[in-house]
Amino acid sequence: MMSGTEGRIEPYLMCFIIGSIYHFDRGISHNKIIDYVIGSTLVAAAIMTKGMFVIVPIFGAIGGHLLYQHRNITVFFKWYWLLVAALICLFILPEIYALFIQFDSHPNKIIFGQKGISGIKWFLWDSQFSRLINTGPFTRHQGDYFFFIHTLLWAFFPWCFVLYYGFFQTLKKIFKKEAVVELYTFSGGLFMFLLFSISKFQLPHYISIVFPFYAIIVADIFYKPLNRLGKKLIVSLQTIQISVVFLVLISILIISSWSTIACLLFLSLFVGALLINFRRPGNLINKLLIGSGLAAIFLNAYMSLEVYPTISSYRADIQAARYINEHFQDQSVTVLGPVSYRFQFYCNSPISKYWDPTIQELQDLKKASLILCTDVDILKRLDSNYVLVESFDHYASETISLAFLNPKSRSTQLVKYILMKKPTTTSKKTENYQ
């Protein structure tokens, strides 16, 4: 959801991951070197985009498929895998060189409060795998092993239950040692799911990189004939999900800022589309497939027309950056408290950031002419000899709450970003702005 208003790299990773597996499969089946070269290029692009962990879904998918199909580990000891490894190492050299120039060649740089931090080591290990085992500069002691199980209920809606059914069916075939056309999607999707689940760092959008795998699994369920039990299960689950969408739309339209006529028209279009779909002749499973798609389209249409624009208006980092660009062009800005990289991207002025400033750092800020404070606790410790310029409402959560959707309770979910400046001889101090 938040990807509409934030910069995410997961869409690029989707292409790199699924594209590399496709070309490696072509290389194995057609024995063409060009496919290994293209696949290696896409793997390197994925690594330089997010880090080394992307080898897990890629080679987990390939390894799981080949091991099950050939039942022999000698399939991994082929000359072309050495070529792939060499090409990947070659293609990521620009990233390695850039990190060396920026970090490793400057051992006196203070990073994470320490000197001698290696950018190359951070890229190859600390940025991803150290999070998995909870070591390195960033640690987190809380995590939910079932986080992505319930995340998929809405993130992959309305196909999540079909996906779980597809995983179950594939596992059953594996245990019975039955023939399976391909295991790329199952292996890649499962390994990445397990890796994210045992990690302490969990955000909903992480799992989206393996959605192409999950989409193929779901498509396979709908494409192939189902047995009696499977058909009854899919019909029941998809009917429930379409009904849930209808009830959710009614609930959020009641508290929506839309007019009554607009709400009734939107619901009428949804119900009309469903009636046309289910009244036409054809297979019930196909009707449910289209009906589920219609439910997702109308739900996301409401999100795009109402919710997303509302969220965008409560992105204080973007609003503050644009305000500074307009009224304080080229004037340096000091940021107190955490702020997203969006602020740096949109703000054209030089920026100094203090996420958790010490008392001494706050005292040294007397020379700062323009301050953006994002943390009310820091604001209380700050010298009051500043003029309030503007305040911006910010919705900081990664998920959308019902209280935020309701205009009457929305203010309880917001925080303030405060923009201040040093008073001039002609300006009047604003007291007690805290």
Does residue 188 sit in the same domain as residue 85? yes
Does residue 188 sit in the same domain as residue 235? no
Question: Is 327 within a domain?
Answer: yes
Distance CA 422, CA 365 (A): 11
Q: In this predicted structure, what is the pLDDT of residue 46?
A: 94
Place of tokens 């000359």: 79
Q: In this predicted structure, what is the pLDDT of residue 434?
A: 43
- Number of domains composing the chain: 3
Statement: residue 1 has pLDDT above 50: no
Q: In this predicted structure, what is the pLDDT of residue 4?
A: 43
Distance CA 303, CA 290 (A): 20
Does residue 238 sit in the same domain as residue 288? yes
User: What are the backbone angles phi and psi of residue 173, rounded to the nearest 5°?
Assistant: -65, -40
Of 161, 182, 215, the position where a domain reaches its end is: 215
Q: Reply yes or no: is the peptide bond before residue 407 cis, omega within 30 of 0.
A: no
**Per-residue confidence at 85, pLDDT binned at 50, 70, 90?**
very high
Statement: residue 429 has pLDDT above 70: no
CA atoms within 13 Å, Cβ hemisphere of 244 = 12
What value does the mean pLDDT take over residues 42-56?
A: 91
Tell which wins on pLDDT, 210 or 355.
210
Q: How big is the chain, counted in residues?
A: 434
Q: Residue 196, SS3? A: helix
Does residue 189 sit in the same domain as residue 77? yes
Does residue 86 sit in the same domain as residue 185? yes
By CB atoms closer than 10 A (0-12, 13-18, 19+), residue 249 is buried
**Per-residue confidence at 383, pLDDT binned at 50, 70, 90?**
low
How far apart, in Å, are the Cα atoms of 428 and each of 269, 320, 333? Answer: 56, 22, 21
* Alpha-carbon dihedral 43, 49, 52, 55, rounded to 10 degrees: -30
DSSP letter assigned to residue 225:
P
Distance CA 11, CA 9 (A): 6
Which residue segment(s) compose the domain that 280 sits in? 226-313
Distance CA 343, CA 341 (A): 5
Q: In this predicted structure, what is the pLDDT of residue 112?
A: 66
pTM of the predicted model as reported, rounded to 2 decimal places: 0.79
Average pLDDT of every residue of the chain: 85
In this structure, are residues 231 and 169 in contact, taking their beta carbons and an 8 Å threshold? Answer: no
Q: Give the number of other CB atoms < 10 A from CB of residue 170.
A: 20
What value does the mean pLDDT take over residues 262-271?
A: 93
Of 292, 313, 334, the position where a domain reaches its end is: 313
Does residue 161 sit in the same domain as residue 48? yes
Does residue 150 sit in the same domain as residue 246? no
**Per-residue confidence at 431, pLDDT binned at 50, 70, 90?**
very low
Q: Residue 373, SS3? A: strand
Q: Residue 153, SS3? A: helix
Question: Is 123 within a domain?
Answer: no
Of 313, 332, 364, the position where a domain reaches its end is: 313
In the structure encoding, which two tokens stand for residue 252, read together?
A: 């959020």
Q: Residue 164, SS3? A: helix
The predicted-structure confidence for 138-163, as pLDDT tens digits, reads as follows 666 666 788 888 888 888 989 999 99
Statement: residue 41 has pLDDT above 60: yes
Does residue 147 sit in the same domain as residue 258? no
Distance CA 327, CA 315 (A): 19
Q: Give the number of other CB atoms < 10 A from CB of residue 233.
A: 15
Q: In this predicted structure, what is the pLDDT of residue 144?
A: 75
Closest CA to 20 of 72, 77, 88, 73: 88
Does residue 275 sit in the same domain as residue 179? no
What value does the mean pLDDT take over residues 59-73?
A: 89
Does residue 61 sit in the same domain as residue 168? yes
| C-beta contacts of 72-80 below 8 A and 24+ residues apart | 80/27, 80/33, 80/36
User: What are the backbone angles phi and psi of residue 115, rounded to the nearest 5°?
Assistant: -100, 160
User: What are the backbone angles phi and psi of residue 147, rounded to the nearest 5°?
Assistant: -55, -50
